[in-house]
Amino acid sequence: MEKKQNLLHTQKKKVKKPSDPCIVCDKELYLDEEYSKRAGLLDDNEECIGWVCPYCNSEFDFKNRLTYIMPMDVCRGIT
């Protein structure tokens, strides 16, 4: 009877996707190595001042500090 070879060292390991959850709603914001699902937050001069979670609409500064929690029934932006 032949002995089976142990090929565990040649099998691919499952690569775990990095985690980037929203602080408020805990939804995943990681898209891939280059992009995120975070939406930029612009001021009146069109300069980026932070980001918004696309799921719960909470606003954050660049240090991921919460600046505003948007009520779920309110919609912001130009329509």
Please spell the DSSP secondary structure of 7-59, one letter per residue.
-GGGSPPPPPPP--B-TTT--B-B-SSS-BSPEEEE-TTS-EEEEE-TTT--E
In whole angstroms, give the CA distance from residue 13 to residue 32.
19
The structural domains of the chain, with segments of one domain joined by +, span: 38-74
Can you give the pLDDT at residue 71? 73
pLDDT: which is higher, 45 or 11: 45
Can you give the pLDDT at residue 16? 72
